């Protein structure tokens, strides 16, 4: 994945340049990053085959079913439907390679799974390493601040303060502030 490996063999044969944020996330989750050879599916396990099964056993059928009723597929209705498909179709079938049901295997493997890690906070480095050459040919450090992308749940702690501010503002001004 280009989001994980920035450049192959950047530091010599077999020494690749990884995305530092992803490397930090993998370390947080207890994972080791291992490179697979490109265009060799036998080195990547069975994950990619499940995507094919998902597309042809659920996605295409669900899309046709919705279009026959005059609807379009969205993330919301697909997510609502996929749980039933997983419970009654994908995980209830006998897997051709394993010759067992995935639900039964999950029950056995759950005894050996590690606990979930704490929520990932990420690395938030302040980058000031870039330099620019001024007209006087002096080197000045150029400040760059890295602002990470966050999901909306990280702002939940600010909601009570925002509501209190809006209520106070509306009481002072005598009305709502979003007219």
In a domain, 142, yes or no: no
For residue range 58-114, what is the model confidence (pLDDT) as tens digits? 999 999 999 999 999 999 999 989 989 988 888 888 888 889 988 888 889 989 888
Residue 119: band (very low, low, confident or very high) from pLDDT cuts 50, 70, 90:
confident
Query: How many domains, in total, are found in the chain?
Result: 1
In a domain, 87, yes or no: yes
Beta-bridge partners for 5 = 18
In a domain, 144, yes or no: no
In a domain, 175, yes or no: no
Per-residue exposure over 17-37, b if at least 16 CB sit within 10 Å of its own CB, e if not: ebbebbebbeeeeeeeeeeee
In a domain, 77, yes or no: yes
In a domain, 135, yes or no: no
For residue range 153-165, what is the model confidence (pLDDT) as tens digits? 666 676 777 667 6
What is the CA angle 68-71-76, rounded to 5? 130
Domain with 101 in it: 45-114
Q: How much is the pLDDT for 143?
A: 62
In a domain, 32, yes or no: no
pTM score, two decimals?
0.43
């Amino acid at each position: 994945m280009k989001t994980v490996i920035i450049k192959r063999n950047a530091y010599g044969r077999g020494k690749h340049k990884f995305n530092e944020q992803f490397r930090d996330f993998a370390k947080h989750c207890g994972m080791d990053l291992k490179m697979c050879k490109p265009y060799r599916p036998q080195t990547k396990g069975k994950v990619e085959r499940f995507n094919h099964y998902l597309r042809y056993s659920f996605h295409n059928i669900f899309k046709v079913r919705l279009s026959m009723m005059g609807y379009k597929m969205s993330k919301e209705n697909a997510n609502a439907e996929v749980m039933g498909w997983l419970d009654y179709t994908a995980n209830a079938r006998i897997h051709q390679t394993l010759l067992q049901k995935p639900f039964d295997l999950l029950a056995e493997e759950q005894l050996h799974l590690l606990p979930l890690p704490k929520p990932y906070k990420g690395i938030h480095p302040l980058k000031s390493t870039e330099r620019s050459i001024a007209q006087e040919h002096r080197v000045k450090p150029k400040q760059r601040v890295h602002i990470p992308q966050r999901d909306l749940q990280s702002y939940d702690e600010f909601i009570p303060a925002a509501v209190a501010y809006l209520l106070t503002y509306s009481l002072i001004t005598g009305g709502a502030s979003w007219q």
